[in-house]
Amino acid sequence: MIRRPETERQKIIDEFLDWLDAHRHNLPVNASTWTFQLVEKRTVAEQELVTLGKYNAQKARSIPFYKPYTKIFKF
């Protein structure tokens, strides 16, 4: 999905902060330490995930071998 323009993101956050300020006394007394982040979900398409057959796993990223397999090229 396409991200919202920055102004629109800021507007959403501002509205949220206004709400927070207006209701501060109805919130937990430590609400001043809360931190926020606007998240626009990007659902990873199934085919983007790495499948590990036998493990019944679908991973965002698989893992490399821990050492050089052989030593045939150098960088």
Chain residues in the site for another protein (CB under 8 A): 1, 4, 12-13, 16, 24-41, 43, 48-75
**Are the beta carbons of 36 and 16 closer than 8 angstroms?**
yes
**Are the beta carbons of 27 and 16 closer than 8 angstroms?**
no
Helix (H) or strand (E) holding 22: helix 6-23
**Least distance to another protein, CB of residue 58, Å:** 4
36 vs 65, which CB is nearer to ligand SF4? Answer: 65
Binding mask 52-71 for ligand SF4 (x = CB under 6 A): ------------------xx
- Residues in CB range of 6: below 8 A, 6 or more apart: none
**Least distance to ligand SF4, CB of residue 66, Å:** 15
